[in-house]
Amino acid sequence: MIWTPGVARAARRIATAAALGGGGLTALGATAYALLMAESVVARRVIGRPHGMEALESDGVYGHFDGPPVVMAMLGDSTAVGLGASEPSRTPGVVLAKGLASVSERPVRLAVYGHSGAPSAELGGQVDRLLEEGVPDVAVVFIGANDVTTQTPPGVAVRHLAKAVRRLREAGAEVVVGTCPDLGTVRPLAQPLRWVTRRWSRQLAAAQTVAVVDAGGRTVAFADVLGPEFATNPGEMFGPDRFHPSDRGYAQAAYAVLPSVCAALALWPEPRPARGEGLQPIYLAAATAAEEPGTEVSPTSVAGQATGPYGRWVTLFRRRLGELLNNA
């Protein structure tokens, strides 16, 4: 595990700024920002937009089972809708829906409300549309990358996310958030852009964890876009634009989130924490999760108290898909 106190301090400052209405950390000065934006333009020219901006339609009912369907909603950005997937069945929402159907032995009705290019500020509108049609059993949110690429102040981004999660929880939905991936893994980005985006991505992910847990949801860390395979096998894990995941990459993202979705719906017992996991203060857990792909953070209490001397109590652990399937 790689953890630095700086990430925890950054998460605390961003979360505090979000709660007080401020913008949080500013990662760059004006001169550095201008340089990075110029590099971003070059990177975009290299990447292009081979997928366009429209994702494949994937709403529907999945799983050949009897009984009332589990209702699952997908919200967020292009990774939530599976931009670049080769067919609807390869989008993360459909992979999740089929996995959830297998575990629950019930059909799953999937409704996708996310769209490509969405920053956290657009989550409110997505939640509006979702709640107009009813309350899902679980809402899965993938968000954060566009907040980094548009240099949205982290406190502002986190505030929008927290509000969306709180609204969904108050309506009665379980919420699982895949936090901001580490954009420093995107190959066309040159230094120092890659270094800065890595730092900013992980600080935002840690702050997202604090805000989501405080609002009653769970987070799953995407960190370096779900593991070393993306760094060692970029040709297989990234799609043609070298920014969005490939079919295999989306499947890995869905498999990382599926155990937490099942746990949120009480379909899988809580695991016994391994070494370095278990009960932790929120800021330590958030910083740890930002560096460890696939790590879940969820709220808990100690002796009936949700908060301790170092902030809210949470549990941190890595759920393992194989264990979930064995328990199903």
Could you give the residue numbers annotated as active site? 78, 241, 244
Nearest by Cα to 68 from 111, 93, 104: 104
285/311 Cα distance (integer angstroms): 11
For residue 106, how many other CB atoms are within 10 A of its CB? 18
What's the CA dihedral at 276, 227, 297, 283 to 10 degrees?
70
8 A C-beta contact, residue 179 and residue 144: yes
Q: Kindly list the distances between the CA atom of residue 146 and the CA atoms of 154, 173, 288, in Å, as whole numbers in the listed order.
A: 11, 25, 23
8 A C-beta contact, residue 82 and residue 114: no
Nearest by Cα to 277 from 311, 328, 320: 320
158/155 Cα distance (integer angstroms): 5
Phi, psi of 46 (to 5 degrees): -65, -45
**Residue whose entry in the numeric block shows the structure tokens 């959830």:** 100
What sign does the CA torsion over 210, 293, 287, 276 have?
positive
Q: Kindly list the distances between the CA atom of residue 84 and the CA atoms of 48, 79, 197, in Å, as whole numbers in the listed order.
A: 13, 9, 22
Element (H, E) at 99: helix 92-104
**Residue whose entry in the numeric block shows the structure tokens 């066309």:** 188
Enter the tokens of residue 231: 């760094």
Q: What angle do CA 125, 204, 38 make, to 5 degrees?
A: 90
